Structure 1
Amino acid sequence: MITIGLTGWGDHPMLYSDVTSAQDKLFDYSGHFPIVEVDTSFYAIPNNRHVEKWCSETPHNFQFVLKAYQGMTGHQRDDLPYETRNDMFNAFIECAQCFQKHGKLAVVLVQFPPWFDCTAKNVQYMRYVKQQLVHLPIAVEFRNQTWYAKDMKHKTLQFLRENAFIHTVCDEPQAGAGSVPLVPIATADKALLRIHGRNIHGWRNAGNAQNWRKVRFLYDYNEEELQGLAAHIRALQQQAKDVYVLFNNNSGGHAAMNAKRLQELLSIEFEGLAPKQMNMFEGEF
């Protein structure tokens, strides 16, 4: 089954009516898409009260992709707000299990940073992460090309298969060592495709810490590009039971429209969505 959604639910004004308050955006979002990425968990692990609220205000079949906390992936190099590494992982596991309890956890996304290259030390750390999150479905996203080098690509994919890691396929600018090629190969019964845009200038020159996200993910996919993505998704569908697709080109408001058009190209109708106050996309295509 192919499921399409966006990264986060708060930055997509086209999905919401004029009267929608911030606290109602997830409900409105779930009237358009059946899955969303929780990207706030990268910055701070949500408490169970928030998770319970998110689960209660979405349809019963709605799914969440829970992004791993930055301290777990090596992004945060400062002192962690936990006494031990085990405390950090246990807090995240508790959060993930709260989603699981409601049957709403699609996968845990473990996105490693651009400096996480293909070395024996990093392979060992991935084994450690697997050991810590042993009962959770883990999708691994690389941001360093060495994992897909000519002599390593097969070994990387085989390692993911042998350790029951879900391969995160990425569509992003090809801008050197800190980006990865699109490799539409599944390594488990689930596959995750994250679509970041193709703004190569913004990827290389993202600006300062305050506006880098707005610059990097500013991109609007054209019809030909979306048709190409649809072909890759159909290929993944032949390899995995479930294919999750997430658009991350949010900064210019293009993600929702691109996702809707891709849904049309794949002839998908989502069932069990939340009721919408109004169809914001009626007559757009």
Structure 2
Amino acid sequence: MTIQIGVTGWGDHDKLYPDAKARQQKLKTYATHFEVVEVDASFYAIQPISNYTKWVEETPEHFSFIIKAHQDMTGQSRRKMTRSEAASLFEQFLASIQPVVEAGKLAAILFQFPPWFQVEKASIDRLRYIRELTKGLPVAIEFRQQSWYAEEYRERTLSLLRELEFIHTVCDEPQAGSGSVPVVPVATYDQLTLVRFHGRNVHGWNQNGREDWRKVRFLYRYNQTELMEWRKLALALEQSSNRVILLFNNNSGGDASDNAKDMMQLLGQKLPDPPPEQLNLFD
């Protein structure tokens, strides 16, 4: 059993890259700080296989990726697709990530559903279809609609995730209406549980007509008391899941990497070993 800690993306955490060399090889440098990362670029566009090949080569053997499903796969883009179009999209996405799968570095594919993805038959059918298309692969589900955790649906939601062997994504985020979810620290898959820290900026979570909404949404720094509470929850989750991954997404103010390292310290973890340097015969 193990707890691994990282952040979402590796490009925007300036504190990790203090000099030009570190900035030129960000992922390689990132892997000297953390042993897991979330790939965000895949949400906006299906990445070329060459990107994943490069990322695999730049990271040590024990490194892992959480790869975010494309926005068309979760309904975030609101694009209407036929069943065959959806199957084709999934096929393209899964083909693109094969270098990570083959290298044994895929921790999970993360399906982060939009706030309008609520409890209803069509949503449940969609979850079943996603599992059909991703059979045999680790898939994490993140809801952003309170209805899934309403008193009358919570246990059925968790049971459905167990039935489909989906990884439950536990969220720490502002409680700001129906488009946010409570902390539900329950494992549904014995191999992995994912926890994502979005911060607790309740005033910035919803758009509310603000032009800078996306810049301030994740503006939050967890304090020691909050992290200590999560240390206990993470250790409890570890008792029912072989692996727990904690990802900090609170980076509007550059706090994610600091909080991730704070949590590592609270758990008594040391930095991962750096990837081996390739021998340059012409040096």
TM-score, length basis structure 1: 0.91
1:206–1:216 Cα contact (<8 Å) kept: no
Letter of the aligned partner of 1:155 in structure 2? R
Please list the CA deviations of residues 100-123 of structure 1 after superposition, one character each: whole Å capped at 9, or x if unmatched. Answer: 111110000011100000111100
Letter of the aligned partner of 2:160 in structure 1? F
Alpha-carbon shift at residue 141 of structure 1 (Å): 0.3
Please list the CA deviations of residues 156-210 of structure 1 after superposition, one character each: whole Å capped at 9, or x if unmatched. Answer: 001100110000000000011000000110000210000000000000246556x
Q: How many residue pairs get matched?
A: 273
Cα distance in 2, alignment partners of residues 246 and 206 from structure 1: 26
Matched, 1:66 2:67: yes
Cα distance in 2, alignment partners of residues 22 and 134 from structure 1: 38
> Match for residue 200 of structure 1?
202
Report matched runs for 1:67-106 at 5 Å. 67-78=68-79, 84-106=85-107
State the SS of the aligned residue for 1:146.
Answer: helix
Q: Which region of structure 1 is more displaced relative to structure 2, 246-255 or 10-19? A: 10-19
Please list the CA deviations of residues 76-135 of structure 1 after superposition, one character each: whole Å capped at 9, or x if unmatched. Answer: 12478xx92222111111123221111110000011100000111100100001101112
> Match for residue 7 of structure 1?
8
Cα distance in 1, alignment partners of residues 58 and 173 from structure 2: 32
What is the percent sequence identity of the aligned residues? 49
1:30–1:58 Cα contact (<8 Å) kept: yes
State the SS of the aligned residue for 1:75.
Answer: coil
State the SS of the aligned residue for 1:61.
Answer: coil
> Match for residue 274 of structure 1?
275
Report matched runs for 1:1-285 at 5 Å. 1-20=2-21, 22-78=23-79, 84-189=85-190, 190-205=192-207, 211-274=212-275
TM-score, length basis structure 2: 0.92
Cα distance in 2, alignment partners of residues 231 and 12 from structure 1: 26
2:48–2:96 Cα contact (<8 Å) kept: yes
Q: CA RMSD in A?
A: 1.8
> Match for residue 279 of structure 1?
none
Cα distance in 2, alignment partners of residues 41 and 3 from structure 1: 22
Residues 249 and 158 (structure 1 numbering): CA distance in 2 closer, same or farther, change over 3 Å?
A: same
> Match for residue 281 of structure 1?
none
Cα distance in 1, alignment partners of residues 24 and 213 from structure 2: 26
Residues 42 and 215 (structure 1 numbering): CA distance in 2 closer, same or farther, change over 3 Å?
A: same
1:169–1:182 Cα contact (<8 Å) kept: yes
Structure 1 residue runs without a partner (length 5+): 277-285
Deviating runs (4+, > 6 A) in structure 1? none
1:61–1:272 Cα contact (<8 Å) kept: no
State the SS of the aligned residue for 2:195.
Answer: strand
